[in-house]
Amino acid sequence: TAQKETLGFQTEVKQLLNLMIHSLYSNKEIFLRELVSNASDAADKLRFLALSNGELYENDADLKVRISADKEANTVTITDNGIGMTRDEVISSLGTIAKSGTAEFFKNLTGDQSKDSQLIGQFGVGFYSAFIVADQVTVRTRKAGESQGIEWQSAGEGEYTLQEIAKESRGTEIILHLREEEKEFADEWRLRSIVTKYSDHISIPVEMYKAEVPESEGPDGEKIAAEPAKWEGINRATALWTRDKSEVTDEEYKEFYKHVGHDWEEPLSWAHNKVEGKTEYTSLLYIPKKAPFDLWNRERQSGLKLYVQRVFIMDDAEQFMPSYLRFVKGLLDSNDLPLNVSREILQDNKVTQAIRKGCTSRVLKMLERMAKNRADDYQTFWNEFGQVIKEGPAEDMANKEVIAKLLRFSSTHTDDSTQNVSLEQYIERMNSEQDKIYYVVADSFAAAKSSPHLEIFRKKGIEVLLLSDRVDEWMMSHLTEFNEKSFQSITRGDLDLGKLDDEEAKKAQEESEKEVAGLVERIKTALGDNVKDVRFTHRLTDSPACVVADDNDMSSQMQKLMESVGQ
């Protein structure tokens, strides 16, 4: 027999396993959802590859998952005839966490279990959840088109073994040896009810073995025929997105999200649409509740799952969402794209553009609706993803107005760092003399809030938006007006408060301007080439002086931003 090899888990896997076991104790049954979800993904991948190479089916194109339990041996087995894994794939998929930036992320763990398990949630649950109920997991797998099988085995405690095996059937078999205290899962009825609860939406059949039913007699002595033992489908086995909206329950949408989104939280919102006409497609788009840990990682994969006529084509098709909506998860099923569509073809394609346009406006509408009807949820959304949305005005000129409506700011109205003021609210609070939307951008919220430029506004009771996110200066350079009110930075050039200045005050200012003319000259000479100009200002009420940018120059924020990207 082949040599057995022992390998160690990546450090992060050990931490993940440990945290998972301690944080999911109240919801152990989800291990089955995760393993069935993986089996379904494996079927999708095989079907896709078989489009160009039918031999991969090995005369078995009837893709399915089977679940069985053995009470005596105390095991649960999940078998699929999907794509399977090679030795290398087993090592990378079941021994590491294959996401860039993971090590970095794990360095931030605090050691406080309850806090850390919250963080860990961003990874989704996945295969390792098997160890919540099992103290020994065996994976036997053979990749489609390959002849060599491989067996992986682990107790989930730091290492695993690998051994080459002969495996006739293609695909993957996962045998869970249950922990003594989790015996209850080795029960057919228990397993059935878990599948019904979490995996009914899986589009391939999930089957369980039904024992032989002997011939019997009915109440009136009539004969009831015997039934032979057989594998019986226990899920609905139709692709959820092909069903009618009115027939899908919220629960089903939520469970489906966990499957397509590889997330363990429920989504915040979703939109399911069938589009007919020139381009025909179905979209099912979800807004997650939490931002992934790598939202700002440039190499991060994002995008939708793409299906063509119900056949899975690819994950992470990023062409259907603009970058400022890169947190959206879900799927598209197109009737117009060819089955052999590639990323290159998608790149520059009329169908892609039409779908992208439709999906973008659908997401924006969904957010608008949430902002209007579910303010708390919208605030949750904004706290997680607001900074990404702020890239919108620069990226998506066509939807600038709609995006501006979605923006939320801190302002002097509350002086709180929570960004919860909309432009509509700001305008509503404006007095009749005010015709501009005033804002200040600084390095931090504290700096914005205590900016000396604010003094005159506070005195006059004029609300000012307080901006301090990295992206803010960039965003404001692309926002010119909202509802016919233009934006005005209070730190730029000659600030004209227009009608907001009263006549008497103006006169007094002119007087004092004359008085200090000599002083201004002296300061100008002293500062020399370090400044462009020195001006008298009536903007300050408490501070003696402040630095401003000329109207045509870059603001100090923008200069810093440009420096940070190497300009």
Alpha-carbon distance 426 to 404, whole Å? Answer: 12
Residue window 183-222: x/- pattern of binding to ligand ADP, with contact defined by CB under 6 A:
----------------------------------------
Contact 550, 493 (CB under 8 A): yes
Options 262, 272, 408, 453; binder of ligand ADP; rule CB under 6 A: 262
Residues 396-415 that bind ligand ADP (CB under 6 A): none
Pairing of strands 485-489, 436-441: parallel
| Choices 38-46, 102-110, 458-466, 483-491 (CB under 5 A): range interacting with Mg ion | 38-46
Cβ atoms of 330 and 260 closer than 8 Å: yes
H-state helical runs in 51-154: 87-95, 102-107, 113-120, 130-133
46 binds ligand ADP (CB under 6 A): no
Nearer to Mg ion, 126 or 303 (CB): 126
Give me the least distance between CB of 262 and Mg ion, in Å please.
Answer: 6
Find which of Mg ion, ligand ADP, none residue 203 binds, CB within 5 to 8 Å per kind: none
The yes or no reply on residue 126 touching Mg ion (CB under 5 A) is yes
Nearer to ligand ADP, 318 or 469 (CB): 318
The region of 38-46, 241-249, 268-276, 382-390 touching ligand ADP under the rule CB under 6 A is: 38-46
Helix (H) / strand (E) containing 188 = helix 188-198
Q: Residue with CB nearest ligand ADP?
A: 126
What residues have CB less than 8 Å from 33, skipping those under 6 apart? 194, 198, 199, 255, 258, 259
* 140 or 356: CB nearest ligand ADP: 140
Q: Does 42 bind ligand ADP (CB under 6 A)?
A: yes
Short-list 338, 274, 277, 330, CA closest to 311? 338
Q: Which of 9, 12, 30, 38 binds Mg ion (CB under 5 A)?
A: 38
Q: What angle do CA 522, 527, 530 make, to 5 degrees?
A: 150
d(CA 562, CA 450): 24
Nearer to Mg ion, 257 or 381 (CB): 257
Q: Which stretch binds Mg ion (CB under 5 A): 35-43, 130-138, 395-403, 492-500?
A: 35-43
| Helix or strand (DSSP H, E) at 43 | helix 30-50
- Residue 566 Cβ vs ligand ADP, minimum distance, rounded to whole Å: 34
Contacts of 380 (CB under 8 A, 6+ apart): 268, 289
Alpha helix ranges (H) inside 228-310: 250-261
Task: Report 103-132 residues binding ligand ADP (CB under 6 A).
Answer: 124, 126-127
Q: Which stretches of the chain bind Mg ion, using CB under 5 A? A: 37-38, 126
Q: Which stretches of the chain bind ligand ADP, using CB under 6 A? A: 34, 38-39, 41-42, 80, 82-85, 93, 124, 126-127, 172, 262
